Chains A and B, each alone.
Chain A
Amino acid sequence: MKEVMLDCLGEACPIPIVKSQNKMKELAVGDLLIVQIDHSCAMKNVPDWARGEGYNVEVEEVGDGEWEVIIEKTK
């Protein structure tokens, strides 16, 4: 199990989700992907996509308007 950080700070809406989708393909089952975002729209669509895929998702607000979306690749 490893943790992979994905820096999407300053990236507008479609970029974080596309980067997350691509990065997720490289990970093994059980790995954690931590997506750093500061675009409020990505705070919604990244977790929505990950939950739709059936992964475990947690969102943490690490600063004002900065979030970390923690996704566990479960399958």
Chain B
Amino acid sequence: MSETQAGSSIQRRSASSRSSTARKPKPNQLPFAILTLIALILAGLFLQSQGNNMGWYLVTGLIFGYILQRSRFCFTASMRDPFLTGSTILTRAVLAAFAMTTIAFAAIKYGYFKNGLPVPGMNYVVPISLATVIGAFMFGVGMVIAGGCGSGTMMRVGEGFYMQMLSLAFFVIGNFWGAHDFGWWKENVINHGKAIFLPDVFGWFGAVVIQLVVIWLIYIAAEKFHEAKAAAGSSAH
């Protein structure tokens, strides 16, 4: 990282005298790492023995969490920072991820479709309705206050951030509550909407192209927004 070189010109007068920088001796983390690794392997073997590829889910989850933590990829910041700081760097990172998964998932689904097999993941093609808007708004408010979306909260609990353990507890409670009331929403709001699977409307190739063009246009808009905000910010000084 460039942090160490970037601001090396800063001279701090009282760096050594301030009490907050008194370093605590760091315990050796290697034994904890080895114990964690053994525990994870045992957990993986146990889950795999339960069937349904559960062990494989643990491995993909760990890889996802690792990438999320190291890259500081944050879905909350991608939606919040444009309003708060005018930065759309993470917004564009999320759009790039959407573009890549669009191509990959279309390829997987088309592979099944071409061979006459049932297309996987079709039960996630659900109607769009007012519930989508209400739910997205509620989730957006919640994730900004809680300091993370679903994956972000889990990742930061893993990092040991106490406040978000509280977020996680209420995240679980909220999920149960949501599941409890989901029947009402499904019956009264969701089922009034229409389920749209883009390849049914535009064909497989058309759907991918249209989705990529829309993502690309949002990307350009995000870039222009960032530049405009940065220009407005520097002229204000």
Residues of chain A at the chain B interface (Cβ within 8 Å)? 1, 3, 5, 10-14, 17-18, 21, 32, 36, 38-41, 43-45, 47-49, 51-54, 56-60, 62-65, 68, 70, 72, 75
Contact A32 B12 (CB under 8 A): yes
Q: How far is the CB of B68 from chain A (nearest CB, A)?
A: 11
Given known contacts A3-B13, A14-B147, is B7 in contact with A41 (CB within 8 Å)? Answer: no
Contact B89 A57 (CB under 8 A): no
B77-115 CB contacts (< 8 Å) to partner A: 77, 80-81, 84-85, 87, 89
**Cβ of B230 under 8 Å from chain A:** yes
Residues of chain B within 8 A (CB-CB) of A72 are 7, 10
Contact B20 A14 (CB under 8 A): no
Residues of chain B within 8 A (CB-CB) of A60 are 21
| Interface secondary structure of A, over-half rule | mixed
B1-23 to A contact mask, C-beta < 8 Å, 1/0? 00110111110111000101101
Contact B77 A59 (CB under 8 A): no
Contact B77 A62 (CB under 8 A): no
Given known contacts A12-B161, A36-B20, is B84 in contact with A56 (CB within 8 Å)? Answer: no
Contact B84 A39 (CB under 8 A): no
**Cβ of B180 under 8 Å from chain A:** no
Contact A39 B85 (CB under 8 A): no
B145-168 CB contacts (< 8 Å) to partner A: 146-148, 152, 156, 159-164
Q: How far is the CB of B74 from chain A (nearest CB, A)?
A: 6
- Bound form: Cα–Cα A36–B20 in Å: 9
Residues of chain A within 8 A (CB-CB) of B233 are 52-53
